[in-house]
Amino acid sequence: MSEQSGTKKIFSLSEVARSIEKTLSERYSSAFWVTAEMNKLNLYKHSGHCYPELVEKKDGKIVAQFKSTLWRADYLRINAVFQDVLKEPLKDGIKILFLARITFDAAHGLSLSIIDIDPNYTLGDLEREKLETIAKLKAEDLYIKNKQLPLPQLPQRIAIISVETSKGYVDFLKVIEQNPWGYKFFHMLFPSLLQGDKAIDSIIQQLMLIEKVKHHFDIIAIIRGGGGDVGLSCYNNFRLASAIANSSLPVLTGIGHATNETVCEMIAHYNAITPTKLGEFILQQFHNFSVPVNDAKKFIADKALRILMEERTHLKSEVKLFRSMTENLLLRHNNDVQSNIKLIRQVMNFRLRSEKSNIDYLKQQIHMRSAAFVLERNRELVGIERNVINMSPALVLKRGYTITLHKGAVIKSFEELQQGDAIETITSEGVINSAITSIKKNNNAG
């Protein structure tokens, strides 16, 4: 009951709450359908109850926000339907059409009690976004832009956008690294969120990072381990699809689902149903290259073997012909050689005899000339010896000549002497000592 205080009518808080509760129960007596975005599911695992946070956005801004409750039994029933229709459970960030009642509790305030959720509305909303994104990509000439990039003949260097703990990532690496043909790959992980609204910016950021180091890679692989259509709603986003379309490297996707194809998968250079299939596609590129190379190798080897066999046969034939011709030539020329040897021997014998006769004659001439020379030389020596003997002082003195000395030296000029000098005169018979009494010059002396 309210209280009166002067002119003021005063109510307690519980009275106000009961009044609001009464008014709402009278005004909203039945359940009604509402559309909203489930920003957060807020599932409490210990109780099984959910307290979804519902919002409505306009131009990216929240224009309405409401608390709600989803009791355990209703959550289990609705979640099972979602998994059957959408292949994925209830989760954050999806648009829903739900049946609810307005409830008011004095302690907890106003909220919506969710009774049921229509999964087909959520699926339809995803499809609308998908069609809008496709139309916008085509309008901006982006829909087939990445498909037009040439795929390297051997896509060996791979930039992978995935999560290290993802089963799809593990399966992909197993396929390419453990291939039985021994093909070698270089790959680097660029970790990213792969589902939900936050995945959009996360994947775009990694695409931008790869763009900065694009010269190190041949292709980009976006790999996810699987999931239903709701979890893949981010791959229908225009910003993400545009980033993939504008990549300067071919983008290959292995997002891992077998239901409706997302926009990002449509505009990617190549899309595989699973990461395993994507790995097999890349291996196939190596097969496409190696098969003709191996065929060419086999063809060259076979051709080379045939050529070798043909040349070996030809060589044997040529060797046989050469041997036969050589033997004939040797036989023919051997006779010529023998004849020439015989002729050479005859000529050499004749020349030797002739040269021997010449040598004997020369020896004789030399001997004769040597004897005459010795005789003539002896004669000359005898004459010289006779002259030497005839010129000896003893013989000269015997012929009447004398030798005059002055002070023991032979007198060569009268100018060496003076009147009164003592001189010696040697004759063949003895020595005469005398003194000069006078000196008279011979007028005929030169």
Domain count, the chain: 3
Whether the pLDDT of residue 205 is over 90: the answer is: yes
Among residues 99, 122, 145, which one ends one of the domains? 122
Q: What is the mean pLDDT of residues 408-420?
A: 79
The residue with greater pLDDT, 186 or 109, is: 186
Whether the pLDDT of residue 149 is over 90: the answer is: yes
Among residues 287, 315, 349, which one ends one of the domains? 287
- pLDDT tens digits along 43-65: 999 999 999 999 998 887 889 99
177 within a domain of the structure (yes/no): yes
275 within a domain of the structure (yes/no): yes
- pLDDT tens digits along 333-359: 888 888 888 888 888 888 888 888 888
372 within a domain of the structure (yes/no): no
Q: Are residues 79 and 136 in the same domain?
A: no
Instruction: Return the biggest CA–CA distance within the chain.
Output: 211
Residue 226 is predicted with a pLDDT of 59
The residue with greater pLDDT, 122 or 240, is: 240
317 within a domain of the structure (yes/no): no
The residue with greater pLDDT, 422 or 283, is: 283
Mention every residue, 6+ apart, whose C-beta is less than 8 A from residue 276. Answer: 171, 172, 175, 254
Nearest alpha-carbon partner for 94 in 132, 56, 33, 38: 38
Whether the pLDDT of residue 227 is over 70: the answer is: no
319 within a domain of the structure (yes/no): no
- 186-191 β-sheet, strand order: 186-191, 157-162, 219-223, 251-254, 270-271
Residue 254 is predicted with a pLDDT of 93
421 within a domain of the structure (yes/no): yes
Cβ-based neighbour number of residue 197 at 10 Å: 15
Whether the pLDDT of residue 148 is over 60: the answer is: yes
Q: Are residues 65 and 203 in the same domain?
A: no
Cβ-based neighbour number of residue 67 at 10 Å: 14
For the ranges 6-20, 110-124, 149-163, 273-287, the lowest mean pLDDT is seen at: 6-20
Structure confidence at residue 364 as a pLDDT band (50, 70, 90): confident
Whether the pLDDT of residue 177 is over 90: the answer is: yes
Nearest alpha-carbon partner for 284 in 183, 189, 186: 183
Whether the pLDDT of residue 229 is over 60: the answer is: no
Residue 114: enclosing H or E segment and its boundaries? Answer: strand 109-118
Q: Are residues 148 and 266 in the same domain?
A: yes
374 within a domain of the structure (yes/no): no
Mean of all residue pLDDT scores within the chain: 86
Residue 393 is predicted with a pLDDT of 73
Residue 274: CATH number of its domain: 3.40.50.2300
The residue with greater pLDDT, 291 or 115, is: 115
Q: Are residues 82 and 228 in the same domain?
A: no
Whether the pLDDT of residue 262 is over 80: the answer is: yes
Structure confidence at residue 252 as a pLDDT band (50, 70, 90): very high
Residue 269 is predicted with a pLDDT of 97
Whether the pLDDT of residue 443 is over 70: the answer is: no
Q: Are residues 151 and 98 in the same domain?
A: no
Buried b (16+ CB within 10 A) or exposed e, 123-152: bebbeebbeebbeebeeeebbebbeeeebe
Residue 42: CATH number of its domain: 2.40.50.140
Q: Are residues 169 and 223 in the same domain?
A: yes
294 within a domain of the structure (yes/no): no
Q: Are residues 166 and 257 in the same domain?
A: yes
Q: Are residues 162 and 271 in the same domain?
A: yes
Whether the pLDDT of residue 2 is over 80: the answer is: no
Q: Are residues 49 and 118 in the same domain?
A: yes
Whether the pLDDT of residue 388 is over 60: the answer is: yes
Helices (H), 391-418: 393-398
Q: Are residues 76 and 176 in the same domain?
A: no
Residue 444 is predicted with a pLDDT of 62
Whole-model pTM: value is: 0.54
CA dist., res. 23 & res. 27, Å (int) = 6
Whether the pLDDT of residue 134 is over 80: the answer is: yes
Radius of gyration for the chain, computed over Cα atoms and rounded to the nearest angstrom: 68
Q: Are residues 135 and 283 in the same domain?
A: yes
Among residues 67, 94, 122, which one ends one of the domains? 122
Cβ-based neighbour number of residue 332 at 10 Å: 10
CA dist., res. 173 & res. 175, Å (int) = 5
Mention every residue, 6+ apart, whose C-beta is less than 8 A from residue 379. Answer: none
Q: Are residues 161 and 234 in the same domain?
A: yes
CA dist., res. 200 & res. 235, Å (int) = 8
Whether the pLDDT of residue 228 is over 70: the answer is: no
Structural domain boundaries enclosing 431: 396-435
